[in-house]
Structure 1
Amino acid sequence: MRVTSKNNSKIKLIRSLHQRKYREQTGLFVVEGLHGVLEALHHPERVEMLVVSYDLLKSARGYDAINRVAASVPVLELDTTLFSSIMTREKPHGIAAIVRQDWTPLENICHLRVDSSSGEDLWVALCDVQYPGNLGTILRTCDAVGAAGVILLGEATDPYHPTAVRAGLSAYFTQHLVRADYQQFTTWVMGSDYTLIGASADGAQYYRGSTYPLPLILMMGSEGHGINPAQRELCDGLVAIPMCGQNDSLNLAVATGVLLYEVIAQKQP
C-alpha cells in the first residue's frame, strides 16, 4: 500500500507512537532500521506492519525480507520525505516495523524456568530507572549473558521509548519484560525461592568476593539515588563495585554489565 499524505491515519498512528501515552494505549512500538526489523520478522505474530521507503533502502537483505513476508504482513510504502518525517533516526535506513509490545506477568516468572543452564533463573530488577538508553543497554547485556529479562519497579522509564529500542536492538525479542510496583514485588519475591542481591556503594562485600546462587535477581538502584533503605532491607545481600578514581559510581548500565558478567563467570567451568 502506497501512502503519500501526511494526514493518512496510518501515518498519524506511527507518529503518535513517539509518545509514551499512545504506545501504552495501543500496545505498539516502532522498530527502526534493518537489524531490528529482521529480528522482529523472526516473530511475525508480533509485527503489525512494515513501513518502507524503497529510495532509502539499500540492503538486499531488506528487500528479501519484505518479499518473504509481504503476503502475511501489511507493507506501507512511503516516499523519502514522508518516511524521514515520521522516524527518529537522523539517517533512516528506509525500513521500520510497527510491533506489538510483549509483557510478562510477575507471577509467571517462576514458570519460565527450565533448568539452571537455561538463563531463565537470572533476572535484573531496576528500581525507578530513568534513562531509556540505560534500560535498552541493560536489556542488550541481559541478552548477551543469556539472562531471562528485566523487572521494572516503581516509576520506570518506558522500555519501548525509541532511544531504549535503539540501544536494546534484538533484545526486545529475546528478553522478558516485567513491571510491578514495590509492594507487588516485595510480596512476590518473599514467597519465591529467588535470591535477591542488591548493588550499593556501601555493600558489605565487593562484587567479586560474593557468591551468586541461582535462581537470582540482581537489584539495581536508580541513576540518581541508588537503592533506598526499604529495598536494601529486602535484599539477601549487598555488593559493591570498588571505585579507584575520582568518580564515586559507575553508569547504571555499566555497573549492571559488570555484575552480570561476574555472575556468569562464576557459573562457567
Structure 2
Amino acid sequence: MTAGGRPGVFRKVTSLANPLVKDIRALHLKKYRDETGLFLAEGRKLVRDALDGGWPVHTLVFQAEQANDPAVGQLAAEVKAAGGTVLEVSEAVLGKIARRDNPQTVIGVFRQSFAPSERIGAGGLWVALDRVRDPGNLGTIVRTADAAGVAGVALVGQCCDPFALETVRATMGSIFHVPLARASEEALVAHASRSGHRLIGTHLSATEDYRGADYSPPAILVMGNEQQGLSDSLARACDLLVRIPMRGKADSLNLAVSTGLMIYEALRATL
C-alpha cells in the first residue's frame, strides 16, 4: 500500500486471499498500526471529513455495489487524483476487512499524524489527558474538543491508541480536525514551565469549585486517568486544582463528561 506524488491506482479485488486485503485487515491490530503508521476509518462521512480537512487518504476501499453512487465516485476520484489507491471490492472482501457483519460500505486507510510536543498549548486552549485508557472516552473527548474549538489534545504517558478503530469511530470524524500530541509527564511539566502555560487539573481533594476558577490563558487543562485520576506528581505540578461538585451518591464522573464540563467552563470564563 503506497501513496505519494505519482498518479493513484484503481483495482478490483474479489479474492479474500489478496495480499492487500490481508494488509488492510491487519490494521485492526495495534502492532501493525505501529509498524506501518497507518490506521482505519469506516464510513464515507469520515473519509469525506478527512479529505475536506486536507488529510490525504492512503487507500480507499468501497463495496462494488456502491460504484454508481455519485458521492462514492467523487471520493474515489479525489483519492486517485491525490495519488492514493482505490480498491473496489466484493461484499465478502469488505466484510473480511471490517471484521464484522453489516460493515460500512466505504473504508479509508490513513497515515497517522502527531503534532510535535513543542506545539502543546499553541493556538489556544489545549487538553492534556493523563494515561487515558478507554478508547470511547478518548474519542468522545476529541469530538468534544473539536466542537468547542479547542486547539489540541495532548496524550500524557501510557494512553490508549488514538488511532484504534474504536477511538476513531467515537470521534465521528474529529480525529481529522483536532491536532494530537504525545508527551511524557515530565516533558509536559517542563514544556509548560518554559512556555509559561498554567496547568489546571481536576482533583477530588481540591477545594476550589471549577465554576469559579481562574482559567486565564495561556493554560492547559489536565485531566486524570479514569480509575486513579491525576498522578500525585502531576497533581503537585499543577498551578491550580479544581473540583466538580457532585450532589448525588456517585463518587466520580465519567472522564469524557468531566472533560467536557471543564472545556466549556474554561472557554466561557475567558470569553
2:8 equivalent to 1:2? no
Corresponding residue for 2:106?
95
* Percent identical: 40
Corresponding residue for 1:236?
239
Secondary structure of the 2:172 match is helix
Q: Distance in 1 between matches of 2:134 and 2:66?
A: 30
TM-score (norm 2): 0.90
2:197 equivalent to 1:194? yes
Superposition pairs for residues 60-79 of structure 1, below 5 Å? 60-72=70-82, 73-79=84-90
Among candidates 174, 182, 195, match of residue 179 of structure 1: 182
Corresponding residue for 1:145?
148
Deviations along 1:96-144, one digit per CA (max 9) or x if unpaired, are 111011101112336xx4xxxxxx2211111111001100110011101
Ranges in structure 1 where 5+ consecutive residues have no aligned partner: 114-119
Deviation at 1:56, TM superposition (A): 5.7
Superposition pairs for residues 113-132 of structure 1, below 5 Å? 113=122, 120-132=123-135
Q: State the AA in 2 paired with 1:109.
A: I
Change (3 A) 1:90 1:142: farther
Deviation at 1:45, TM superposition (A): 5.5
Q: Distance in 1 between matches of 2:150 and 2:181?
A: 14
Corresponding residue for 2:158?
155
Corresponding residue for 1:204?
207
Q: State the AA in 1 paired with 2:187.
A: Q
Deviations along 1:46-88, one digit per CA (max 9) or x if unpaired, are 3111001032679642333223443333211110111012115
Deviation at 1:211, TM superposition (A): 1.7
Between stretches 87-96 and 194-203, larger displacement belongs to 87-96
Q: State the AA in 2 paired with 1:93.
A: Q
Deviation at 1:43, TM superposition (A): 4.7
Corresponding residue for 2:258?
255
Q: State the AA in 2 paired with 1:5.
A: S
Superposed CA RMSD: 1.8
Q: State the AA in 1 paired with 2:170.
A: A
Among candidates 103, 114, 118, match of residue 107 of structure 1: 118
Q: Distance in 2 between matches of 1:215 and 1:223?
A: 26
Q: Distance in 2 between matches of 1:191 and 1:99?
A: 34
Corresponding residue for 2:228?
225
TM-score (norm 1): 0.91
Query: 8 Å contact 1:196–1:217 — kept in the other structure?
Result: yes
Ranges in structure 2 where 5+ consecutive residues have no aligned partner: 1-10
Change (3 A) 1:206 1:44: closer
Q: Distance in 1 between matches of 2:189 and 2:61?
A: 42
